[in-house]
Amino acid sequence: MVKLVAARTHRRYGPHGVQDAFEITNAVVYLVATIFFIGGMTCLLINFTHPLQYKEAHPGLILLAIAICLIILVNLHDILAHLAGIDFRLELLSYDPQLIFIEIAAPLVYVIGAVLYLIAIVFMLQSKSLVQGRKEQAAVQLLVAGSVFWVLGSIHNACQLYSRSSPLVQFLQKAVYQPLLIASTLLLIGSVLWFKGWPNFILARSAQYGAITIGIIAAALMVLGAIINIFRVLYLRRLVGSYAHAPLDTLWGRAHEELEAASTSRLQPLLEQDIPSEESAPGPLPPPPKLHAAGPPLPGAAPGSPQEPPIVEEETFAVIR
């Protein structure tokens, strides 16, 4: 699960010139993470021959751990992109509730849920069976807690509102959010089913297989959302490049005005240096000083004309010495 980039103008995926590459890379990495996720769930379904043994499920758990690490990386990149878009001015969060509760808090919630999932997977990799002790029980409880955080982050995403964006942009946004919301809900149902099947070992086999099957359906929805997200990112980049004023939403409240005022105040000294003022403009150059002749004027020379200095012979210097 991931908090995907909003259709707003303040995001900044890297410095100027490489923003497109960073944003597309972010979307592609998330697609790769979802592919690893569905691959891990499929390996669990194929190799999980007995509910009390985890050794054969290790390849699937390793794939899931890789997917979770990539999802954490993408979410952290989203947080930095939105904070860089407002020049890391945290006071602007108070002006735009959507900025703090959706575009900053949602990826943070996803990171917390993913970390809980990762800890649960590490506990399962260290276990040989489901009946050894508290570590296995804690792993199942962490799965439920991580799913709750992902559902909360998906609800944050679904609450995002737009006023200036075109209908096609809003449709693409919803086409990404809805599969993720359904997928996170299915993961919560599967983790609860796994939790209810533990430690009732008679029902554990069917409960765990059912939970893994639900997880595969959720992973397929995540892959679908990731594919639509790539098309959405490409469309947004083409939209921004085609129009001088792209139909994207700005920050709400006074956040947009404050950000523009700060940018203008930083650029003003540079503009003043580039445009010379009238006081500092160079005036006409003064006339060159007149050279006064050291001796009488040469014959044929006009009076008042500059005279060349007389040439002193070397013998004169010898006499002076």
Nearest to 232 by CA among 178, 184, 183, 187: 178
Give pLDDT, residue 301. 52
Give how far the C-alpha of residue 271 lies from the chain's centroid of Cα atoms, to the nearest Å.
30
Assign 3-class secondary structure to 98-146: HHHHHHHHHHHHHHHHHHHHHHHHHHHHCCCCCCCCHHHHHHHHHHHHH
Residue 112: the pLDDT is 95
- Tokens 């995540």: give the residue: 222
Tokens read off for 317: 């210097």
Query: Residue 162 is encoded by which pair of tokens?
Result: 């737009």
Tens-level pLDDT at each residue, the chain (321 residues)? 565 666 777 777 766 667 778 888 889 999 999 999 999 999 888 877 655 566 677 888 899 999 999 999 999 988 888 888 777 777 777 777 788 888 888 899 999 999 999 999 998 888 766 555 677 788 888 999 999 999 999 988 888 877 777 788 888 888 888 999 999 999 999 998 887 766 555 556 777 788 889 999 999 999 999 999 999 888 887 776 655 456 677 776 666 656 655 555 554 455 455 555 545 555 555 565 554 545 555 455 555 555 555 544 444 444 444
Note the pTM of the prediction, 2 decimals: 0.75
pLDDT at 37: 96
